[in-house]
């Protein structure tokens, strides 16, 4: 039976519960324990798949095709444990299932209520698929006191009573603000937050206190006294130089020790933190730097490209170089070629990421053209690969080449896909159907061409498995004319119908992929495509 750690937050949002959960899991893992992390989101969307990146940030995709909260990316990057469909649930998904059951008559005419039906569903998600894990960490989105979060808090209260005594623990992340005019840290917000949580029947065992300044021992004792926890269980969480320093910082403050002590575990082995010391050393002591231009449409919110940002950092770690990322709005590149050259010439590599819709598409195509003609290392991801194919088609004599995603076109180099093969068999979608959950989602195999740069990047592999999230595909009818123009299709779906990777062998480093490699990159295991891309950018920097 797994032990459960319930993680809540108070006072304000954006305190870093997800990063805290990932760091704690990594520390427990370093002690030899098997861990899993789950995220419970109180919003009514069934999943974040149809939400604007400006509303929610990145949509993280799992191997089994779930569209999830971006915190699951932190979980995977810090632990290496692949997330699953069962690891993220929203109020919308819970209510959707309950209402479907009610319509079928599964409740036998009973009145359907938040307690017990909604809380039972939340508990079922928490307890599902335990496997042989030692610890399951459950992070709850939002802030204690939010109306939409009350059913989740009630579910925690019930679980702490129903599970064996000593098998659950509550960690509350809160804020200790610094009032500059008074020159003091204030503990009252933390006290009020804990009081709010206790009023819901949940007494926290460990407090993680976010602060910009060191918390004096006297303030820690004060928090402990008023919040009914041990002084040693009040853990300071100061700002860190990077997210990859957080596990080491939390360990130094005793977070993992106090959590284990809360479970009555006092003889746990010391953690093996060698890989985290290596990661932080590579990040903090680079031996060079490169500048990468990311030409996207959601650049106003960095969280929209969270995994991409981290994967680029990981690629830098592979070469012990600092990666300076320049976020460039694709729409600005639609105003004139001179502006494109001025903005892209300082870049050692150009990356065009995924996205949806026509806005900024011509700017992305222009940046692909710049990378091809100026021989700058290029990586296109999802829509970025499609833009590379459209740019190649226009150069090959198809001036009206476009994507049906942007409207009717006489040259549909990219078009919507309504049928494809998956591990579950033939998948079908309606072109005018629902948007949510209707894309090609999750892990799919790609067969690599021998002697290609793609095969070389993947250490000579014949086939790979990567995660997808898209509704449109490169039209295979254009493969022959694009190949004649110098673009080779070095990765295809096993049935040979869907292009997965394109590249230019006459270019120093030019690769486009239909999938999202950033979703599988980790600080201690950089994705080979990003390691290769940054390596090529480093060579470009040496030539400048």
Residue 510 lies in a domain: yes
Domain holding 295: CATH number? 3.40.50.880
**122 vs 145: CA distance, rounded Å:** 18
Residue 197 lies in a domain: no
CB atoms within 10 A of CB 253: 18
Residue 213 lies in a domain: no
**Residues 156, 125 contacting (CB under 8 angstroms):** no
Cross-strand partners of 168: 4
- Let me know whether 348 and 294 are in one domain: yes
Q: Which helix (H) or strand (E) holds 327?
A: strand 322-329
pLDDT band at 169, cuts 50/70/90? very high
- What DSSP line would sit under 147-191, residue for residue? GGGHHHHHHHHHHHHHSPTTSEEEEEEEE--EETTTTEE--HHHH
Residue 497 lies in a domain: yes
Mean of the pLDDT values across residues 125-140? Answer: 91
Work out the mean pLDDT of the chain and round it to a whole number.
91
**Residues 377, 540 contacting (CB under 8 angstroms):** yes
Alpha-carbon 200 to chain mean position: 31
Q: Tell me which of 209, 227, 382, 389 is the catalytic residue.
A: 382
Domain end among 232, 257, 278: 278
- Let me know whether 127 and 108 are in one domain: yes
Mean of the pLDDT values across residues 284-302? Answer: 91
- Let me know whether 347 and 260 are in one domain: no
Q: Is the pLDDT of residue 435 over 80?
A: no
- Let me know whether 258 and 327 are in one domain: no
Q: Is the pTM higher than 0.85?
A: yes
- Let me know whether 330 and 259 are in one domain: no
3-state secondary structure of 535: helix
Catalytic residue at 518?
yes
**pLDDT for position 500:** 96
**pLDDT for position 426:** 47
**pLDDT for position 333:** 79
First to last CA, the chain: 59
Cross-strand partners of 489: 502
- Let me know whether 270 and 125 are in one domain: yes
Q: Which helix (H) or strand (E) holds 381?
A: strand 378-381
Q: Which helix (H) or strand (E) holds 372?
A: helix 361-374
**pLDDT for position 392:** 93
Percent over 90 (pLDDT), the chain? 76
Residue 467 lies in a domain: no
Mean of the pLDDT values across residues 321-336? Answer: 87
- Let me know whether 260 and 408 are in one domain: no
Domain end among 278, 296, 326: 278
Mean of the pLDDT values across residues 472-498? Answer: 91
- Let me know whether 46 and 107 are in one domain: yes
pLDDT band at 422, cuts 50/70/90? very low
- Let me know whether 293 and 259 are in one domain: no
Number of structural domains found in the chain: 2
* pLDDT tens per residue across span 184-194: 999 999 999 99
- Let me know whether 271 and 295 are in one domain: no
**pLDDT for position 420:** 41
Residue 68 lies in a domain: yes
Residue 127 lies in a domain: yes
**pLDDT for position 227:** 97
Domain holding 13: CATH number? 3.40.50.300
- Highest average pLDDT, of 105-109, 419-423, 454-458, comes from 454-458
3-state secondary structure of 345: coil
**204 vs 202: CA distance, rounded Å:** 6
**pLDDT for position 419:** 47
Residue 106 lies in a domain: yes
- Let me know whether 407 and 493 are in one domain: yes
* pLDDT tens per residue across span 22-36: 999 999 999 999 999
Catalytic residue at 133?
no
Range of weakest confidence among 214-228, 335-349, 360-374, 398-412: 335-349
Mean of the pLDDT values across residues 48-69? Answer: 86
Paired sense of beta strands 168-175 and 206-211, if any:
parallel
Q: Tell me which of 74, 468, 516, 527 is the catalytic residue.
A: 516
Percent over 70 (pLDDT), the chain? 95
**196 vs 151: CA distance, rounded Å:** 15
Q: Is the pLDDT of residue 433 over 60?
A: no
Mean of the pLDDT values across residues 73-100? Answer: 95
**314 vs 308: CA distance, rounded Å:** 10
CB atoms within 10 A of CB 172: 27
Residue 82 belongs to domain spanning: 3-170+248-278
| Helix-strand-coil split of the chain, %, nearest 5 | 40, 25, 35
Catalytic residue at 516?
yes
- Let me know whether 17 and 138 are in one domain: yes
Q: Tell me which of 67, 138, 518, 527 is the catalytic residue.
A: 518
């Amino acid at each position: 039976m797994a032990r459960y750690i319930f993680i809540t937050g108070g006072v304000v949002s954006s305190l870093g519960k997800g990063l805290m959960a990932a760091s704690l899991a990594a520390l427990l893992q370093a002690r030899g324990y098997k861990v899993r992390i789950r995220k419970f989101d109180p919003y009514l969307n069934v999943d974040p798949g149809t939400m604007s990146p400006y509303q929610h940030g990145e949509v993280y995709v799992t191997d089994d095709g779930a569209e999830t909260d971006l915190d699951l990316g932190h979980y995977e990057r810090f632990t290496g444990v692949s997330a699953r469909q069962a690891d993220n649930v929203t109020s919308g998904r819970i209510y959707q299932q309950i209402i479907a059951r009610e319509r079928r008559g599964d409740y036998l005419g009973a009145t359907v209520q938040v307690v017990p039906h909604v809380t039972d569903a939340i508990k079922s998600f928490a307890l599902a698929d335990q496997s042989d894990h030692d610890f399951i960490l459950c992070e709850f989105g939002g802030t204690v006191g939010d109306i939409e979060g009350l059913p989740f808090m009630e579910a925690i209260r019930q679980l702490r009573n129903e599970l064996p005594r000593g098998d659950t623990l509550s960690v509350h992340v809160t804020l200790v603000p610094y009032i500059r005019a008074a020159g003091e840290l204030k503990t009252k917000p933390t006290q009020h937050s804990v009081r709010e949580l206790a009023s819901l029947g949940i007494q926290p065992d460990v407090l993680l206190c976010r602060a910009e300044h060191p918390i004096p021992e006297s303030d820690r004792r004060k928090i402990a006294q008023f919040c009914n926890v041990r002084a040693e269980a009040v853990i300071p969480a100061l700002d860190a130089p990077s997210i990859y320093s957080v596990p080491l910082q939390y360990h130094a403050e005793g977070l993992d020790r106090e959590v284990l002590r809360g479970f009555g575990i006092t003889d746990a082995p010391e953690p093996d933190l060698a890989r985290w010391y290596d990661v932080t050393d590579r990040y903090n002591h680079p031996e060079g730097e490169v500048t990468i231009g990311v030409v996207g449409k959601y650049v106003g919110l960095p969280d929209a490209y969270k995994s991409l940002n981290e994967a680029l950092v990981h690629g830098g770690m592979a070469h012990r170089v600092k990666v300076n990322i320049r976020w460039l709005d694709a729409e600005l590149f639609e105003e004139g070629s001179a502006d494109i050259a001025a903005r892209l010439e300082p870049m050692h590599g150009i990356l065009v990421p995924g996205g949806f819709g026509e806005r900024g598409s011509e700017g992305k195509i222009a940046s692909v053209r710049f990378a091809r003609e100026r021989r700058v290392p290029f990586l296109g991801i999802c829509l970025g690969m499609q833009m590379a194919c459209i740019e190649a088609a226009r150069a090959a004599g198809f001036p009206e080449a476009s994507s049906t995603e942007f409207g009717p076109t006489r040259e549909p180099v990219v078009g919507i896909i309504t049928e494809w093969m998956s591990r579950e068999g033939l998948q079908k979608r309606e072109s005018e159907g629902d948007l949510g959950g209707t894309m090609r989602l999750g892990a799919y195999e790609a067969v690599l061409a021998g002697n290609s740069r793609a095969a070389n990047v993947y250490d000579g592999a014949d086939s790979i498995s990567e995660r997808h999230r898209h509704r449109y595909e490169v039209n295979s009818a254009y493969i022959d004319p694009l190949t004649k123009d110098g673009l080779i299709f070095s990765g295809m779906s096993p049935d040979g119908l869907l292009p997965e990777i394109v590249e230019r062998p006459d270019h120093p480093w030019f690769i486009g992929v239909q999938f999202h490699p950033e979703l599988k990159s980790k600080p201690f295991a950089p994705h080979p495509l990003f390691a290769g891309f940054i390596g090529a950018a480093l060579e470009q920097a040496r030539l400048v």
